[in-house]
Amino acid sequence: MRKNLNVIAAYSIMMALIILVGIFQSWNIALSIFNLCLISAVMTMGANIQWGYAGLINFGIMGYTALGGLAAVLISVDPVQEAWSAGGFDILMSLWLIIAMVLIIRFILKRFNKSKMRTYSIAVIIISGILLIRFSAEPGIEAIEAVNPAKTGFLGGFGLPIIFSWIVGAFFAGGLAFIIGKVALGLRADYLAIATLLISEIVIAIIKHEDWLTRGVKNVIGLKRPAPYEVDLQSTDWFINLVEKFNSGKLELISNLSDRQAALNQLVIEGSSIFVKLCYSGLFLTVVIILLILTQKALYSPWGRMMRAIRDNEEAANAMGKNVVKQHLLIFILGSAIVGIAGAMLVTQDGLFTPGSYRPMRYTFLIWVMVIVGGSGNNFGAILGGFAVWFLWIEAAPIALFLINFFTAGMSETHALKLHLIESVPYFRFLMMGLGLLLIMRYRPKGILPEKIEIK
């Protein structure tokens, strides 16, 4: 208990901050911050596994998040029958072509020794394969995109409950990580960072522009929810009774019957959106707790010890007979899969998929700030980082506004500098993130909750 005092203190402060937002701003805002904190925590856990356990830099978090989101779309949207009959055959043909291409390349790689000839022939196969696929898929893609473009214009998905997409998203992201890991894991740390950053940009470019699969920048809206809809709740009896019971004290003060009914209606509307958010919180919290238990178990298992050994001294671990390349690939896939889950959770919560919103600032660098600030190598630290940084990211604008008003109190209301500063309030969050990161890296380089390994 004593040892974990700082962890408990840090989490209590965090919770208290969120509750303060609930009291002073509104419970709706507090809960939406809390939900996104939970999602961020999942992302930071994924990044922490890669960076904290194994020392691998992955700046491609944005790409995995987007793939998780894509999984949510492909799982939950109903299939568009028209589009399938219009162009499904061509798409399936191209899929077969891709599989055939991969098999041929694998065969060549296995069969022949490394030589210039082999490299060139693989290049020729890839280029001609891409051209072939383009030509064969072109009519299909055009046909699919022509099917009711304002509403669908894509193949749709499988029409399953969206919850399944959390698992599928993990598989998608893990698959991408497998390919990237095979390509880039041999590189030195900062090159790995650049390479993963650029590859994630390629993934986003594909998601943005392959309209037949993702609707691209036209966005997919109105995804199915795992939680009830507010409108339904507002007309259900048990929910109205529940709200009445909760607020009975407040309602009894109002003597006028019609006034009381109006107040109740207002409370029901507020309560319904809080209830929906609470449903999400429950789901997300379950995921976070399951992942936390698993990652903690992994951290203290022989496997976790091996990963730390590899991180701290690769050559020595290699000399002890540990397969460094294989373990790096494994942990790269695991971490990315967790980020994929978070991506699917994010789209589930928003109920819409907007490829245009995936930007490296928000989905890669911010997550890294969270990991570094929270404490790399420590799961509790990573989660705390997710909470603290997301909280600051959202509350930065009100804080900045307060500070600006405080420091420019002496100026008149129409002073140009004051107006300009108030106009640029949204950008103070970047300043806070940057300064926070720089200060933490300088004065507490291991993060708020540093890595602490007990040897039993």
Partner 1 sequence: MDFLNALILLLNYIFIPALTYGSQLALGAIFVTLIYGILRFANFATGDMMSFGTMITVLFTWYFQSLGISLGVLPTALLAIPFGIFFMILYMLSIDKFVFKYYRTNKSPPVQLAMVSIGVMFVTQAVVRIIIGPSDQRFFDGEKFIIKAREFKEMTGFNEGLALKSTQVITVLVTIILVSLLFWFLNKTKTGKSMKAYSDNEDLALLSGIDPKKIVMITWIIAGILATIGGALYGLDKSFKPFTYFNNMLPIFAAAIVGGIGNPFGAFLGGYVIAFSEIFLTYAYKKFFMYILPESMEPESLVQLLSTDYKFAVSFSILVIVLLYRPSGIFKGKVL
Q: How far is CA 341 from CA 166, 167, 170, 344, in A?
A: 5, 7, 5, 5
Q: Among 100, 14, 9, which residue's Cα sits nearest to residue 385?
A: 14
Q: Does 74 bind partner 1 (CB under 8 A)?
A: no
Sign of CA dihedral 316, 321, 324, 330: negative
Q: Which is nearer to partner 1, 286 or 424 (CB)?
A: 424
| Angle of the 379-407 helix axis to the 257-300 helix axis, nearest 10 | 130
Among 62, 73, 306, 433, binds partner 1 (CB under 8 A): 433
What torsion do the CA atoms of 342, 345, 346, 350 make, to the nearest 10 degrees?
Answer: 180
Stretch that binds partner 1, among 41-49, 64-72, 347-355, 437-445 (CB under 8 A): 437-445
Q: Does 365 bind partner 1 (CB under 8 A)?
A: yes
Residue 47: exposure state from Cβ atoms within 10 A (0-12, 13-18, ≥19):
buried
Among 332, 368, 390, 393, binds partner 1 (CB under 8 A): 368
Q: Does 124 bind partner 1 (CB under 8 A)?
A: no
Q: Does 187 bind partner 1 (CB under 8 A)?
A: yes
Among 198, 290, 325, 419, binds partner 1 (CB under 8 A): 198
Stretch that binds partner 1, among 2-10, 12-20, 196-204, 316-324 (CB under 8 A): 196-204
Q: Which is nearer to partner 1, 109 or 290 (CB)?
A: 109
What is the C-alpha separation between 413 and 42, in angstroms, rounded?
44
Q: Does 47 bind partner 1 (CB under 8 A)?
A: no
Q: Which is nearer to partner 1, 119 or 265 (CB)?
A: 119
- Sequence-separated (6 or more) residues with CB below 8 Å from residue 193: 57, 58, 59
Q: Which is nearer to partner 1, 262 or 431 (CB)?
A: 431
Among 164, 171, 303, 428, binds partner 1 (CB under 8 A): 428
Among 191, 246, 300, 407, binds partner 1 (CB under 8 A): 191
Q: How far is CA 83 from CA 90, 93, 400, in A?
A: 11, 15, 50
Among 45, 54, 57, 67, binds partner 1 (CB under 8 A): 57
What is the C-alpha separation between 125 and 281, in angstroms, rounded?
49
| Angle of the 324-350 helix axis to the 27-48 helix axis, nearest 10 | 160
Query: For binding to partner 1 (CB under 8 A), which residues are involved?
Result: 57, 119, 183-184, 187-191, 193-195, 197-199, 201-202, 205-206, 208-209, 361, 365, 368-369, 372, 421, 423-424, 427-431, 433-435, 437-438, 441-442, 445
